[in-house]
Structure 1
Amino acid sequence: MMKPVFGSTMQGLTLSWLAERNAYKFPEKEAIVLTPVEGGRTAITNATFDKRINQVANGLRRRGIERGDNVAVYTVNSIPTLEMYLGAMRIGALPVPINHRFQADEVRYVLEDSNAELLFFDDHAVDIVDEISTDPAMPDETLFYGKDRPDYADDYVDFREQSGTNSIEIVSSRVDEAMLMYTSGTTGDPKGCLLTHDNIIQMTVNGIVEKALEGRDVNVDGRGLIVTPLFHIAAFGMFVNNYYAGATTVLMDGFEPNRVMDVIEEEAVTAGFFVPMMARALLAVDGFEDYDLSAFEEFGIGAAPSGRELKETISEAFDADLQEAFGQTEMAPTTTLLQPSQALDHPDSVGKPVLNVLFKVIDPKTREEVEPGEIGQVCYRGPTMFNGYYGMPERTEETFDDEGFFVSGDLVRQDEDGFVEFVGRADNMIITGGENVYPAEIEETLHEHPAVDEVAIVGTPDDTWGERIKAAIVPIDGGEPSADELQRYVGERLADYKKPREFVFLESLPRNPTGKVLKAPLEDEAGEMVGWES
């Protein structure tokens, strides 16, 4: 059995210490199983994972990376991705995940903004890195994982295997910064959020406690599937959830519905998280009913509205607990959870605030708290709250109020029982005919229409109304809803002034590299005007 090595300066629970702990307590258990979209399987035990983290930590130190330095990671989901994350953390350096869908200018921005000392990239990113390889933003140190290594980068496997395996003294404390995670940049350039070890671990603790309060067990032998990208805090948080519990992470490098269903069956997956678009694709897989889903216990969903019909279909088809999560990068990220016992009774809610997050809703203008049922800007405080934006002291200061609450850009409505409904982004609110309209409410309504797959609501300038409401619709395959039909559908369920007056039908919605819908391009799409007499 491995002998534990505890750094003399370690103060409290850190992410990299979890690797030492799991290697000591569960050395031969699978830590990570990589099941690529194109097929195959690679597994790594807790003991081997911890050994590799030490190798990466030693190698980074040899390359001059020190505590507080930033290490950029521009890769698809892989075992080396997580090795680099935790290897950097072990010496007090900060991994900086870069969205693997970013193009050259976006990658250059993150490298410059973060002052990265090293770039780790893979063969999925090589074309983009080639384009900026001689740019001043490129770090002096570069490591490559994959085939056909470019001559300006060193081989990652050689780097790792040629480094020592001796345990690095863990210099981090739980309140030290652990990683620099960039926001998705839906309303401007991405901002680097400084998250501590404690921020991320307390997020996991919140989830465990919330599960216990529901009377559900934490599955130490669980096998949690991650298909969403590790450059996003939600996916990395899922890995930490698995790892903290001593469970196994089943990792995929992309989303392909048939392959995901195969992996769920073959790996006896017990839990997974999917955005609504993914959930619909899984349910549409040919032969869905023939898959063995007997091990599957929990279906997590979030990042976009899902609605009652989809929730009911998921619960029945997977015969699993359905849990919805809501939050943002600055809160590491989960702030509310809709538990399985609540999901079908409150399908339009994102749940209640988790245990260790204080929560208030304020009027955006007066900054006073609003009454239950009123729409306002949501604010958070608690141990999962980030340390601030990297290199942006003024922006950080204005983000917090006098009581130390983080003031988000999200608009919500909280009822008297504490359930929270996401209404939209403050900067996406539409004012039409003097009335405030929140896109999420209309989007949720249209999602329930049987011919609508995806929808986005935007406001566009109008001489009469100030702004008119425009709906961008992606029909379900074979569906052909008309603009008049959809407007009547909304009018039967919501106030007249909330009916879209313009409709545009698309094959897909524009999205940023994180997968979030980009609404600005939709404002310029020419659509069909309907219902102006009403």
Structure 2
Amino acid sequence: MALNIADLFEHAVDAAPQNPALKVGDRVATYADLEAESNRLAHYLQSQGVGPGDHVAIYAKNSIEHVVAVLATVKIRAVTINVNYRYVEGELNYLFDNADVVAVVMERSYADLVAKVAPNHAKLKTFVVIPDAIDPDDASDISAFGGVLYADAVAGQSAERDFAERSADDIHIIYTGGTTGFPKGVMWRHEDFWRVLGGGIDFYTGEPLEEFDQSKQATDPRMTTFPLSPLMHGGAQAGLLMHLFAGHLTVLEPKFDPQRTWEIIEQDKVQLIFMTGDAMARPLIEEYERKKATGTPYDASSLFAISSSAAIFSPPVKKRWMDEFTNAIFTDSIGATETGFSGMGMQDKNAISTDGPVVGLGPASVVLDEDNRPIPMTEVGRIGRLARGGNVPVGYYKDPEKSAATFLEVDGERYSVPGDFARIETDGRVTLLGRGSNCVNTGGEKVYPEEVEMAIKGHPAVYDTLVVGIPDATYGQAVAAVVQLRDGATLELEELREYLRAHLSGYKLPRSLTVVDTIPRNATGKAQYPAAKEMALASQAAAAPAG
């Protein structure tokens, strides 16, 4: 027995094998079903030479087979590599090379792209092909790279649990694209991952759990949970595993669709949803309001907990949710792939922050000053970098330089410091201001984009926005707003600036406005700031006088 992802799942299987574990569409898999299927796939991977420490890419949308692939990989002490299914050829080549992938479990619809990149990766020899979660009839050719259909791979394989003993020190990697730069593989010991992302430390009390504490709950009445983000996103994967460890039912969908989401909440009596800020919250509440206006609202009375993380949940959108779901608990959670859970705040309808999420810091989380010293939480108003000690990643895979810059040692204790800035508030809370690498330095003043974005989203014409810094001859950098408007709306720079004066200091106001069709975000709703900056610069260049 070990504090290992595979062991923790198996404890839940042993406690309540007939509990429903996953539901995707009309398919339901019990804990016993997941156990048998993941054992079969694990034995197939072993037969292909995949062993402890080998890297297995999972290139798929949300599906039961996706979850089976994660479990099968960790059961044989191999390492999962999450793949963004939106990648183009160059990005996929980079990931397969950087991650030293030896096997891939992939949806058939990606066969053409895999056929192009596979010859570039000598280590990559095993290809298990699962049906596409949206187009199961896809029959793309898989012969060019020696693909094996999932059904053929598991046929005849043992469903028994007869694997070698595992360790809490086994490595679990999550690749994070973040908002800038190339993806980086964050290496976690299994125990540390469980502690900070899988519920191994109680998020509410900060108390550490024992190995069997979660599985002991599996015979109690269980929740129906619905993470809306793709499992390729670390937060969704962690939420799934945490609920599997405790015997809950998790509903998954391969594609985010607001109408379908509400239909599932109504049909399956979902009690808890996880979403990625406004990117999901706004279209969801708009669909809910639309249906309500017809006189036949969705029945979402089962929903009692609504959690947002990884992106801004802006005040106007949050208020609309709270107006509709007056009895639900709303939480903002903060953290990063490099830190795990850093803090959580219960949201009060009468005190919604307009600056950023206001949360209580989690266990071992601190705010560091410019000398990497913890700032006393009594120094209200001080701004510093969020950091977490205690259970900290080993580092970035094959990147000692970035590891040294992010995972610091202060007075003999290791901290993970990914670069998010926060302001200390009263009662031991902090306001999250955003990633320091995106900070705009204008005339010597620091402007945190997420604070300005929160204010801009309050304007009735604005659907979505990102704020970036662009070169400015006078101020060094100027605040630039890239905005997606609501259908039929118009907005001029001076009108926006006038609106924002009631919410922001003068130096934080945008000096340029670029209106675009769609704000650049990845599949999980995370902001793509480099793309937004390119849009702002292109708009500036187009507006410049000729010659």
TM-score of the two chains, using structure 2 as the length reference = 0.87
- Is the counterpart of residue 522 in structure 1 residue 516 in structure 2? no
Partner of 2:147: 153
Partner of 1:66: 51
Partner of 2:15: 25
Q: Deviations over 1:368-415 (max 9, x none)?
A: 4454312222221122x2111111233323322232112221121121
Query: What's the offset of the Cα at 1:75?
Result: 0.8
Partner of 1:488: 498
Q: Determine the C-alpha separation between the residues in 2 that align with 1:492 and 1:25.
A: 56
Partner of 1:357: 364
- Is the counterpart of residue 90 in structure 1 residue 97 in structure 2? no
Query: What's the offset of the Cα at 1:335?
Result: 1.1
Say which is worse superposed, 430-439 or 270-279, in terms of deviation.
430-439
* Maintained 8 Å contact 2:514/2:536: no
- Closer, same or farther: CA 212–435 of 1 in aligned 2, 3 Å: closer
Number of equivalent positions:
507
- Closer, same or farther: CA 341–466 of 1 in aligned 2, 3 Å: closer
- Closer, same or farther: CA 160–351 of 1 in aligned 2, 3 Å: farther
Letter in 2 for 1:295: S
* Maintained 8 Å contact 1:51/1:165: yes
| Pairing 1:405-424 to 2, within 5 Å after superposition | 405-424=415-434
Say which is worse superposed, 478-487 or 245-254, in terms of deviation.
478-487
- Secondary structure of the equivalent of 2:106? strand
Q: Determine the C-alpha separation between the residues in 1 that align with 2:23 and 2:397.
A: 33
Query: What's the offset of the Cα at 1:464?
Result: 1.7
Partner of 2:271: 270
| Pairing 1:423-434 to 2, within 5 Å after superposition | 423-434=433-444
Letter in 2 for 1:467: Q
- Secondary structure of the equivalent of 1:291? coil
Q: Deviations over 1:4-45 (max 9, x none)?
A: xxxxxx3x332212332222222221100012xxxxx11111
| Pairing 1:159-308 to 2, within 5 Å after superposition | 159-177=153-171, 179-202=172-195, 203-205=197-199, 208-210=202-204, 220-275=221-276, 276-285=278-287, 286-288=290-292, 290-308=297-315
- Secondary structure of the equivalent of 2:101? coil
Q: Deviations over 1:350-385 (max 9, x none)?
A: 34355433322222xx334454312222221122x2
- Closer, same or farther: CA 515–355 of 1 in aligned 2, 3 Å: closer
Partner of 2:325: 318
- Is the counterpart of residue 109 in structure 1 residue 94 in structure 2? yes
* Maintained 8 Å contact 1:307/1:348: no
* Maintained 8 Å contact 2:230/2:523: no
Give the fraction of aligned pairs with identical amino acids, expressed as a percent.
26
RMSD (Å), alpha carbons: 2.5
- Closer, same or farther: CA 300–257 of 1 in aligned 2, 3 Å: same
- Closer, same or farther: CA 82–459 of 1 in aligned 2, 3 Å: same
Say which is worse superposed, 276-285 or 166-175, in terms of deviation.
166-175
Q: Which runs of 5+ in 1 are unaligned?
A: 1-9, 36-40
TM-score of the two chains, using structure 1 as the length reference = 0.89
- Is the counterpart of residue 400 in structure 1 residue 414 in structure 2? no
Partner of 1:454: 464
Letter in 1 for 2:274: F
Q: Determine the C-alpha separation between the residues in 1 that align with 2:43 and 2:489.
A: 57
Letter in 2 for 1:402: E
* Maintained 8 Å contact 1:181/1:193: yes
- Is the counterpart of residue 367 in structure 1 residue 372 in structure 2? yes
Partner of 2:134: none
| One of 377, 380, 394 as aligned partner of 1:387 | 394
* Maintained 8 Å contact 1:349/1:419: no
* Maintained 8 Å contact 1:502/1:529: no
- Is the counterpart of residue 134 in structure 1 residue 100 in structure 2? no
Q: Determine the C-alpha separation between the residues in 1 that align with 2:17 and 2:444.
A: 63
- Secondary structure of the equivalent of 1:89? helix
- Closer, same or farther: CA 210–351 of 1 in aligned 2, 3 Å: farther
Query: What's the offset of the Cα at 1:206?
Result: 6.1
Letter in 1 for 2:403: T
Q: Determine the C-alpha separation between the residues in 1 that align with 2:203 and 2:350.
A: 18
- Closer, same or farther: CA 25–252 of 1 in aligned 2, 3 Å: same
* Maintained 8 Å contact 1:99/1:514: no
Letter in 1 for 2:281: A
Letter in 1 for 2:429: F
Partner of 1:327: 335
